């Protein structure tokens, strides 16, 4: 009996972890974006930038730049689903569910390829 | 401009959640045809907004087990590869070609909305024990019974998911209108589980092309941020009030609105703009 219950509980825990990852990533991103919008409403003179690398964004955050807050919000939003794939991959490894650990790792590889394509 | 974009996001998220379609298909025509945002910036903003709505849909899946995470993860292998290729291809297409393709991509949504019944009966096969690794079951509170299903024709599902991912990466939409019928009609997944699993997949699929858009400079924060914030608030509101307001007449009305927008997108593909 125990052998059938334990995997079901693990699966439930993993689902909750995945949910928690997505909801907290979204919340953090929305907070950053809203902060950016409020700062922008106060001093919209800041020049618009796109495609800033993470380091430049963090420097902008230190300087209180509204655009930097907006871009960091966008980056957090983009990292969240990738984090969810990583959480699932680790979860499947802990469950010794090798097939789905491999599937999650495969999705992760494709996401890394997209980073490389973007950087090229 | 900033406020108009925020309102467009709100409207797209609200209507999308109420009638059960992804935000992008409403958002991009609104941004380009009504607000006057260039289509490339609209697609870049939409791909970011789509990630937000997909993550937001996770709020609702506490305990209901509708989302088939194993199936979603497997199909994501195909959607993400498609999305990367779509994201690359988009750079080589002009705004007319993108508008024309968008008009075409709206057709599956319009057709499925037009044919929508008041309530879809669960189409899953009655299975007492889960045999395959992708099979699943969920509890339907309305029918007061557990609905089990077997996942069939995985290669077909993978093929169509690749196509859906490709369209998502190319046009900045979720592609649910293609994936959901593939899962229900092709793979034997009940409607509710297919819709939840599709929503789950959309975030990761969008990320696969979003970074390509971002590094190309097609994600303008002054367009993407008000869009994402608006769509998220709209979708959360819509999922609360949607079930109560969702009537056949309402769906019909918005289907006609979408059809008009589809014609506008098709016209801008040949250089005619009516605003």
pLDDT at position B125 = 53
Measured CA to CA, the distance from residue A22 to residue A27 in angstroms comes to: 9
> Is A50 close to B219, i.e. CB distance below 8 A?
yes
pLDDT band at A5 (very low <50, low <70, confident <90, very high): very low
CA angle A12, A19, B213 (to 5 degrees): 140
- Which residues, 6 or more positions from A77, have their beta carbon under 8 angstroms from its beta carbon? A25, A26, A29, B48, B51, B52, B55, B228
Q: Is the pTM of this model over 0.80?
A: yes
- Which residues, 6 or more positions from B208, have their beta carbon under 8 angstroms from its beta carbon? A110, A111, A114, B79, B80, B81, B83, B84, B87, B165, B169
Contact A64, B253 (CB under 8 A): no
Lowest mean pLDDT among A51-65, B52-66, B78-92, B261-275: B52-66
CB pairs under 8 A between A and B: 148
> Is the pLDDT confidence value at B41 over 90?
yes
> Is the pLDDT confidence value at B102 over 50?
yes
Measured CA to CA, the distance from residue B48 to residue B224 in angstroms comes to: 7
Lowest mean pLDDT among A54-63, B124-133, B179-188, B202-211: B124-133
Q: Is A18 on the interface with B (CB under 8 A)?
A: yes
Question: Which residues from A are below 8 Å from B77, CB to CB?
Answer: 103, 106-107, 110
Q: What is the pLDDT of residues B179-198, one digit of tens each?
A: 988 998 899 898 888 988 99
Q: What is the pLDDT of residues A8-37, one digit of tens each?
A: 666 678 888 899 999 999 999 999 999 999
pLDDT at position A1 = 36
Optimal mutation site among B37, B83, B225, interface A, most CBs of chain A within 10 A: B225
Measured CA to CA, the distance from residue B34 to residue B9 in angstroms comes to: 12
For chain A positions 64-83, those within 8 Å of chain B (CB to CB) are: 67, 70-71, 73-75, 77-78, 80-82
Measured CA to CA, the distance from residue B184 to residue B190 in angstroms comes to: 6
Q: What is the pLDDT of residues B150-178, one digit of tens each?
A: 898 999 999 999 999 999 999 999 988 88
Q: Among residues B222, B74, B58, B194, which one has the least CA distance to residue B123?
A: B194
Q: What is the ipTM of this complex?
A: 0.89
Measured CA to CA, the distance from residue B232 to residue A25 in angstroms comes to: 13
């Amino acid at each position: 009996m125990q052998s059938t219950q334990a995997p079901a509980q693990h699966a439930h825990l993993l689902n909750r972890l995945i949910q928690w990852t997505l909801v907290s990533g979204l919340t953090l991103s929305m907070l950053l974006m809203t902060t950016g919008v409020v700062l922008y409403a106060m001093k919209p003179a800041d020049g618009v930038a796109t495609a800033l690398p993470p380091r430049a964004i963090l420097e902008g955050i230190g300087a209180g730049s509204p655009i930097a807050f907006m871009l960091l919000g966008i980056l957090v939003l983009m990292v969240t689903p990738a984090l969810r794939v990583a959480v699932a991959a680790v979860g499947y490894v802990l469950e010794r569910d090798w097939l789905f650990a491999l599937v999650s790792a495969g999705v992760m590889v494709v996401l890394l390829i997209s980073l490389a394509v973007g950087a090229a | 401009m900033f406020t108009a974009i925020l309102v467009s996001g709100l409207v797209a998220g609200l209507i999308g959640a109420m009638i059960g379609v992804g935000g992008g298909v409403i958002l991009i025509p609104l941004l380009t045809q009504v607000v006057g945002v260039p289509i490339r910036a609209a697609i870049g903003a939409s791909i970011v907004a789509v990630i937000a709505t997909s993550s937001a849909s996770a709020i609702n899946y506490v305990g209901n087990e509708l989302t088939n995470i194993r199936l979603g993860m497997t199909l994501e292998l195909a959607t993400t590869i498609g999305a990367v290729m779509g994201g690359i291809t988009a750079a080589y297409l002009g705004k007319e070609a993108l508008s024309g393709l968008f008009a075409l991509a709206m057709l599956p949504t319009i057709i499925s909305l037009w044919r929508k019944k008041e309530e879809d009966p669960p189409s899953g096969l009655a299975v007492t024990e889960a045999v395959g690794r992708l099979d699943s079951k969920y509890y339907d509170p309305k029918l007061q019974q557990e609905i089990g299903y077997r996942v069939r024709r995985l290669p077909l599902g993978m093929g169509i998911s690749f196509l859906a991912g490709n369209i998502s990466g190319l046009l900045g939409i979720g592609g649910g209108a293609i994936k959901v019928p593939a899962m229900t009609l092709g793979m034997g997944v009940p409607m509710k589980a297919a819709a939840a699993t599709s929503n789950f997949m959309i975030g990761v699929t969008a990320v696969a092309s979003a970074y390509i858009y971002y590094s190309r400079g097609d994600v303008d924060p002054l367009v993407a941020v008000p869009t994402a914030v608006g769509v998220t608030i709209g979708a959360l509101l819509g999922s609360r009030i949607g079930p109560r307001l969702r009537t056949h007449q309402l769906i019909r009305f918005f289907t006609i609105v979408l059809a008009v927008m589809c014609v506008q997108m098709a016209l801008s593909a040949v250089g005619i703009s009516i605003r």
